[in-house]
Structure 1
Amino acid sequence: MEAKMFHNTELFQGLKQHVEMIAAIVSGVLIFFAWLLSIDDFNIISTILFIFAFVIGGFAKAKEGIEETIREGKLNVELLMVFAAIGSAIIGHWLEGAILIFIFALSGALETYTMNKTNKEISSLMELQPEEALLLVDGREEKVHVSTLSIGDLIIVKPGDRIPVDGQLINGHTTVDESAITGESIPVEKEPGSEVYAGTVNVNGSITVRVTKKASETLFQKIIELVQNAQSEKSPSQQFIEKFEGTYVKGVLIAVAVLMFAPPFLLGWSFQEAFYRSMVFMVVASPCALVASIMPATLSAISNGARNGILFKGGVHLERLNKIRAVAFDKTGTLTKGEPIVTDVIVRPDIEKTELLQAVYNIERQSSHPLAKAITAYIQENVKGLKDEWVSVDEHSGFGVSASWNGQKIFVGKAAFVGKEEAEQFQNSVSKKLYKQGKTVVYVKDEKGIAASIALKDVLRPDMKNLMDELKSKGIYTVMLTGDTKASAEAIAKEASVDEFHGECLPESKVDRIKQLNKQFGVTAMIGDGINDAPALKTASVGIAMGEGTDVALETADVVLMKNDLTKLIKAIELSQKMNKIVKQNIAFSLSVIALLICANFLQVIDLPFGVIGHEGSTILVILNGLRLLRS
């Protein structure tokens, strides 16, 4: 019984989503039978069928038009079309009026389909986040609702299951399908310490995850909120069209009144011909196609972007992205991976390199500092036969670490920690060369002095050079803003081929530079991932955040690249360009059709049926043109 009720509810919901399309189709069928019955002689049955076709096909749009007029106090295109259909019936053109209602209902159903398609993208996203999780309590698994999970809880995620909340992998190795978050179909390797996200799929291997965010605050929930908010935020073009619509409709109604009474006196038309031409004018001059030129295209582009890991927070940002002439990049975590790697290891000639690295490995592996992690990863990859040995390590916060190894004291850290002058003179002052290359140098010191210098560098993301070349080919000026030293900034800027760079930037310095770029280029974009980037993101014409960045950056930005892949920037710009191109095509086409039909009506060379087909056909065409953006 319950299953049957659920099935009926599901069926009802499915029908509800397509009610406008069903009404349009029913209206069309009634018109067809009414036309068949009226071929030989117009009769009461055909009249009743036409009336039903008017009511069923026009109810939704008439209701929408009346409610909007009451709410906003202005006339709209929906009421204009209803007036035109009623006027056609009054002068005996039932078929033309009914066809007008049918095609108008059909175009409205297509617009609703576009909105539902975007909503469907959100609904499908929401369904990806599980409602239950396996909580680990005293060594046993307990199924609980995700809303009850707290930060620090341990949960079990089995192979094939979706991860219910954001967290950190504590135990186990696996690959995770993150396509729901990033749009990237290739699963990502995960090991202890890796971040995992709600809505992604644990492909192989049972894992233990420590909860780092509540279910209501996950990255997944942020994505859903961003896409939902994007639908309600209208682009400047859409806002202009909506403001223009009310004035235009008033103008059309005034012109209709003039056409009813002026031509009989000025041009010798009969009153019947004048009324007929005014009805045709009301149909062909209605701005339906113009009003539908923008919103379907914008919603389709937002939906396309969301599906491919590019989140636009509204049509205004999507439209503006097409106009940017300068892009400013943060360095660490944006242009670069934000994860340093070892590039050079220079050892004192009297020391066996492998033995030294064995000591450094056992000392550094006990530290959670990013540089220490990079050094241990390098040693693990390049030194065979490593032995994990426990060493008592003393932390010297902000400077380095020290430990006893094989009877002597070893120091690992910055120059000031091991002796600045001695460090700078090591191996013919090799550190000066390394610093000029934008590298960070960690020194190892034993009882005889400086034993080695290890250079590390935060490397560029893949394809940065290609990205810069593509931006430049589009006439976009590139700038790098970073808090790093000028030497480090210069090295990365040269490697990335940016047009301009600024080092040692505080958050306020970045804001000042963005303001200068706004004055110089007009429309600028800023891309960053950190808290210190948030003010600059807000100052830029378009703020773009890296998806794996901080919450503040995500909330402040106008566009979010969900995968930390800057090549998505080019895709976002191209999507914006394509949308703007389609919008321009739609506007030009709709205005041309309106102008052509008005002229044809005034010259009395077009009748109401062709006016209806020409006008409503153009509306459907611009909607279908906008729907092209739904394709990947």
Structure 2
Amino acid sequence: MVNSKKIISLELLKSSFSGAIQKFSPKYAFSNPVMATVWIGTFILMLQIIYYIGSGIPIQNEIFIFIWLVITLFFANFAESIAEGRGKARADSLKKTRSSTMSKKVDKVGDLNFTEITSSELKIGDIVFVKAGEMIPGDGEVVLGIASVDESAVTGESAPVIRESGGDRSAVTGGTRVISDHLYIKITTKPGESFLDKMIAMIEGATRQKTPNEIALGIVLVVLTFLFLLTVLSLIPIAKFVGSQVGQNWNFRFSIWLALFVCLIPTTIAALLSAIGISGMERLIRHNVIAKSGKAVEAAGDIHVLLLDKTGTITLGNREANRFYPAVGIMEEELADASQLSSLSDETPEGRSIVILAKQRYAIRERNLKSLDVNWIPFSASTRMSGVEIYENGKLIRNVRKGASDAIRKYIESLDGNIPQTMQMISDEVSRKGSTPIWVTEGNKLLGIIELKDIVKGGLKERFATLRRMGIRTVMITGDNPLTAAAIAAEAGVDDFIAEATPEAKLKRIQEEQSNGYLVAMIGDGTNDAPALAQSDVGVAMNTGTQTAREAGNMIDLDSNPSKLIEIVEIGKQLLMTRGALTTFSIANDIAKYFAILPALFLPLAPLNIMQLSSPDHAILSAVIFNALVIPALIPLSLRGVKYMPKSPDSALLRNFLLYGGGGMVFPFFGIKLIDLIISGGYL
């Protein structure tokens, strides 16, 4: 990963230097209107110098001004090259994980006979077998098995994660390594189109699109440049008229006019504008969040509402068996035995957790069913039940079912059984706690209830409180019933919730919030979240989520941590505050330079030359040098960003005006005077 503590490394400086040279090409130069005027003026000045060489006309000042204008352009290019280079350093580290590896392709799930082919030969739908110590050859879904996977090459996190079939933890990424057990994986992407490839393309991308605010600021800078152009042009007739009145020749040479123009236009913010945007995306990368556009980063700084999918986002994703509630007259061990028996063929995480709970509580382990005729009843969406029928000598000796409360109720009633009122009360109480009641019956007799509990991710309540202080409302979205949703919402600490939500309901809520003028962020991980992720202003997809969700969002959280939105919002606000701070500094800086050097250009106005600059030529050259040097001086701030502090827009504006506006007004007087002393003393 990129070292977040080290802003600029020696290696980065070397690569950025060559990148800055390449950006002198006209094709690149004209992408920035303000700096394009500097490029054109510098080019014309170069032609003038070449024309006057050997003519006897002194051109020393022109050469000095030309050199420092070239340096100004170089520093502007250099700032953007450094910002791009920091992102590309992350991309280079990811490329190392993309090397073609050998993969074990099998004909069907569970097959131990495989054919070795390179990962580049894999096609969508191929099944591969990956065991401990081997690299996962491509993006896919786990279709069989459970294993610990090292994803540090992608996420930068050293702690391994569990990947298993079923549930929300089945997605795997090519280039990660299996470190325990084995997995059968169904490939879901073509070679060259994997998530890792897309990540690299996004990071390398100076494909970053300009945001609306950035475009608006660009227009303001162009307008200011035009106004300063008129201002400087107006000095030419003014100088001729005043000079004729006092007997002085104040005809501006082109080099003087150009230098004055460059010093007065907002070159500082124009030079750093692109670097600020790119560095905002790069700071997200250091937090293991990939942004697909600069617009998403900027929007994150202004969001008002955050919608979060419950499963896999607020909760760990898989419910776990937490407790057995036996019916009256039934021993808890008897309920545990029946629950485990009905779950032996259940490969879902919930089913496996029931088997584990029974084993932990009552040491109920594998049982010998080989001599019996066993008919496993798989779970189906239509019946919402699963179970087992055991026959001995053709006679049904056990008939166990487990499933949703309403499904089991109908099943028992169809067999002329009754539901004890006490069990209904227990089921309602389990739901009120935010858990899911799973009923277990043998024949038409209800044995009891299994409590499946959603595990809320640690620390979320505190993090949501922080979001609340930042003025962001949090809304949990879930398909659970209102009782369960209310309990989990209270435990997680969200402000509101939507129960029994469909993809259409999520989309409608986002559209309603947006129609009220709010910017909305959505965090999700499932295919059913994709429409909402696409509609939201900031769509953050969990890396553990489905491929569809990851493609729909405009950000991807590699750590799959919903509280990461705090960092995303802070970085978005940082980007906006940094741009505002440097814009304020740049404009104040330009105004100060105007009043600092203009009196020195007209010798009879010596009383107004409060800085006592040594000569008009030195004043101009000092201003040009200062104008060039201030750009690299501000590069670390544009890369690191202004420190975020929760403040109202008015407070932030006042702080920018006092700190950066005040600094921009004062700093040029000291800087230009110091450079003038160095020049007049013969040190430069």
Q: Do both share a fold (TM > 0.5)?
A: yes
Name the TM-score, length of structure 2 as normaliser. 0.75
Q: 2:398 matched to 1:419?
A: no
- Among 236, 261, 282, the residue aligned to 1:260: 236
Q: CA RMSD in A?
A: 3.6
For 1:61, which of 16, 24, 43 is the aligned residue?
24
Aligned CA distance change for structure 1 residues 617 and 157 (closer, same or farther; 3 Å): farther
Tell me how far apart the structure 2 counterparts of residues 190 and 502 of structure 1 sit (CA, whole Å).
29
Of the candidates 388, 392, 403, which is equivalent to residue 388 of structure 2? 403
Partner of 1:32: none
Q: Deviations 1:178-208 (Å, cap 9, x if unpaired)?
A: 1233332222355787653212234x45845
Q: Which residue of 2 aligns with 1:302?
A: 281
- Per the alignment, residue 387 of structure 1 pairs with 366
Q: Which residue of the partner structure matches residue 39 of structure 2?
A: 78
Deviation digits for residues 259-295 of structure 1 (CA, Å, limit 9, x no counterpart): 2232120365523457665233123123321212322
Q: Is the 8 A contact 2:34 2:266 kept in 1?
A: no
Shift of 1:597: 0.9
More divergent stretch after superposition (476-485 vs 133-142): 133-142
Matches of 2:520 and 2:142 in 1, distance apart?
Answer: 38
* Kept after mapping to 1: 8 A contact 2:344/2:355: yes
Q: Is contact 2:79-2:272 (8 Å) kept?
A: no
**One-letter amino acid of the structure 2 residue matched with residue 343 of structure 1:** N
Question: Is 2:185 the partner of 1:210?
Answer: yes
Evaluate the alpha carbon distance shift between residue 16 and residue 192 of structure 1 in structure 2; reply closer, same or farther with a 3 A threshold.
Answer: closer
- 1:617–1:167 distance in 2 versus 1, CA, 3 Å: same
Partner of 1:293: 272
- Residue matched to 1:95: 64
Separation in 2, partners of 1:83, 1:412: 84
Which residue pairs with 2:630 in the alignment?
618
Does residue 422 of structure 2 align to residue 429 of structure 1?
no
Count, aligned residues = 581
Deviations 1:352-409 (A, max 9, x none): 4334423321321202355433322332343325123334323473232343459333
Q: Could you say which residue in structure 2 is the equivalent of 1:154?
A: 128
CA 370–242 in structure 1, closer or farther in 2 if over 3 Å, else same? same
Pick one of 178, 182, 203 that aligns with 2:155: 182
* CA displacement 1:116-173 (0-9 Å, x = unmatched): 33233223323311213233578466352423455233244562x5432124568887
Structure 1: distance between partners of 2:144 and 2:494: 41
Equivalent runs, 1:125-274 vs 2, <5 Å: 125-136=94-105, 139=113, 142-156=116-130, 159=133, 162-167=135-140, 175-189=148-162, 195-202=171-178, 204=179, 207=182, 209-214=184-189, 215-228=191-204, 231-266=207-242, 268=246, 270-272=249-251
Take 2:345 and 2:560, find their aligned partners in 1: how far apart are those partners?
Answer: 29
Measured against aligned partners, the alpha-carbon deviations of 1:534-587 in whole angstroms (never above 9, x if no partner) come to 333333332222222222322222222222211211111122222222222221
Contact map agreement 2:377 2:389 (CA 8 A) in 1: no
Q: Is the 8 A contact 2:431 2:437 kept in 1?
A: yes
Q: 1:341 to 1:155 in 2, by over 3 A?
A: closer
- Name the CA distance, whole Å, in 1 between partners of 2:152 and 2:500: 36
State the alpha-carbon separation in 1 of the partners of residues 14 and 227 from structure 2.
34
What's the offset of the Cα at 1:480? Answer: 2.1
Deviation for aligned residue 1:60? 5.3
Q: The residue matched to 1:366 in structure 2 has which SS?
A: coil
Distance 1:19 1:212, change over 3 A: closer
Q: CA deviation at 1:99?
A: 2.8
**Residues 113, 77 of structure 1: alpha-carbon distance in 2 compared, 3 angstrom cutoff:** same
Instruction: Tell me how far apart the structure 1 counterparts of residues 251 and 271 of structure 2 sit (CA, whole Å).
Output: 33
- 2:339 aligned partner: 360
Change (3 A) 1:470 1:68: closer
- 1:192 and 1:539, CA in 2 relative to 1: closer, same or farther beyond 3 A? closer
Q: Please state whether the residue corresponding to 2:479 is helix, strand or coil.
A: coil
Kindly indicate whether the alpha-carbon contact (under 8 Å) linking 2:141 and 2:172 is maintained by their aligned counterparts in 1. yes
Pick closer, same or farther for the CA change 1:183–1:60 going to 2, 3 Å. Answer: closer
Shift of 1:414: 3.0
- Is the partner of 2:486 in helix, strand or coil? helix
CA contact (8 A) 2:232 2:261 kept: yes
Determine if the alignment matches structure 1 residue 482 to structure 2 residue 478: yes
The residue that corresponds to 1:278 in the other structure is 257
Contact 1:65 1:79 in 2 (8 A): no
Q: Would the alpha carbon gap of residues 409 and 569 (structure 1) be closer, same or farther in structure 2, given more than 3 Å must change?
A: same
Question: For each residue in 1:87-119, what CA deviation from the matched residue of structure 2 results, as whole angstroms up to 9, or x when unmatched?
Answer: 789754022321332343244234223223323
Measure, in 1, the Cα distance between the counterparts of 2:221 and 2:45.
17
Counterpart of 1:459?
A: 455
Equivalent residue of 2:319, what SS? strand
Query: How do 1:546-585 and structure 2 match up within 5 A?
Result: 546-585=542-581
More deviation, 231-240/140-149: 140-149
Q: Does 1:112 align with 2:88?
A: no
Give 1:520 shift: 4.3
Letter of the 1:200 partner, please give it. Answer: T
Q: Is the alpha carbon distance of 1:629 and 1:231 closer, same or farther for their aligned partners in structure 2, counting shifts above 3 Å? A: farther
In the alignment, the residues of structure 1 paired with residue 295 and residue 214 of structure 2 have an alpha-carbon distance, to the nearest angstrom, of 9
| Identity across the alignment (%) | 23
Q: Cα deviation per residue 1:222-262 (whole Å; 9 max; x = unaligned)?
A: 32344355742112233234334544444444433322232
Q: When the two structures are superposed, what TM-score results if normalisation uses the length of structure 1? A: 0.81
TM superposition shift of 1:469: 0.9
DSSP 3-state at the match of 2:418:
helix
Partner residue of 1:8?
none
Q: 1:620 to 1:230 in 2, by over 3 A?
A: closer
CA distance 1:110–1:346, change in 2 (3 Å): same
Q: Residue 617 of structure 1 aligns to a residue in which SS?
A: helix
Q: Distance in 2 between matches of 1:499 and 1:364?
A: 37
Q: Give the drift of 1:61.
A: 2.7
Q: In proportion to residue count, which structure has more helix?
A: 1
Question: 2:444, 2:117 → 1: CA distance?
Answer: 60
* Per-residue deviation, 1:23: 9.9
Summarize the alignment of residues 42-61 of structure 1 with structure 2, pairs less than 5 Å apart. 61=24
Secondary structure of 2:419 counterpart: helix
